[in-house]
Chain A
Amino acid sequence: SQQGEEDPQALSIQEGENATMNCSYKTSINNLQWYRQNSGRGLVHLILIRSNEREKHSGRLRVTLDTSKKSSSLLITASRAADTASYFCAFSGYSTLTFGKGTMLLVSP
């Protein structure tokens, strides 16, 4: 199965610092997506990177994809307290999304 794993499981940083989260998967993918989930809320789509792309930017977010290593990373630059949330990678093969276990990010003021 396309099991995904994020690391770290939890990350605690100060405002202004950068946060890096990693995601690995096992089989071929169509694209990889990152989502954010605030406590008790639904998942919010952040960024999608296709299998033929290596890097993508959106505001303070930077995502990389290494298909040879079957891994992706999400970098949040200049973090803010409002970035506190759980972050999930999800990979898409045909149509469904397979989610990783997530990284819980805590940004302290």
Chain B
Amino acid sequence: EPEVTQTPSHQVTQMGQEVILRCVPISNHLYFYWYRQILGQKVEFLVSFYNNEISEKSEIFDDQFSVERPDGSNFTLKIRSTKLEDSAMYFCASSDSRGEQPQHFGDGTRLSIL
């Protein structure tokens, strides 16, 4: 069964550094998402992406964050000037329609900011 894959599985970064989290969505999916889960808390929506542009974003997704689909397979989340509170699990998801079908999640990247 097709899977969403995320790399790296664990990223350790110094505060203030930039980090790029990578995702390969399921190949025929058109909608892409990033979520985060701070330890012990609920999964929170960050951003959705369709047709090479952001379709929705949450209040969390401020100017520090950006997303990109640099080629036909990868979907990236960039966090500029990381802060301690950015430490969390970051999940990528994809779906083949908007809101009507399940989203398929990767196993996440654990981001630790020191």
Contact = CB atoms under 8 A, between A and B. Distances in A.
A binds B: yes
Interface of A: 30-31, 33, 35, 41-45, 48, 88, 90, 92-102
Interface of B: 4, 6, 31, 33, 35, 41-45, 48, 55-56, 58, 91, 93, 98-108
Contact of A98 (B45, B93, B108): B45
Given A42-B91, A42-B108, A43-B91, A94 B102 contact: no
Contact of A95 (B44, B98, B106, B107): B98
Instruction: Select the residue from B35, B58, B99, B102 with max chain A CB neighbours within 10 A.
Output: B102
Chain A interface, DSSP helix/strand/loop, else mixed: strand
A30 B102 contact: no
Given A95-B48, A97-B103, 18 more contacts: A35-B105, A41-B107, A43-B93, A45-B102, A45-B105, A48-B102, A92-B99, A94-B99, A95-B56, A95-B98, A95-B99, A96-B45, A96-B48, A96-B58, A97-B35, A99-B43, A101-B41, A101-B42
A95 B55 contact: yes
B48 A43 contact: no
A8 to B, nearest CB: 16
A96 B102 contact: no
Nearest to B57: A96
Q: Which 6 A-B pairs have the closest CB atoms?
A: A45-B102, A42-B105, A99-B43, A95-B98, A42-B107, A43-B105
A43 B3 CA distance: 12
Contacts of B43: 43, 88, 90, 97, 99
A56 to B, nearest CB: 13
Given A45-B104, A96-B33, A30 B42 contact: no
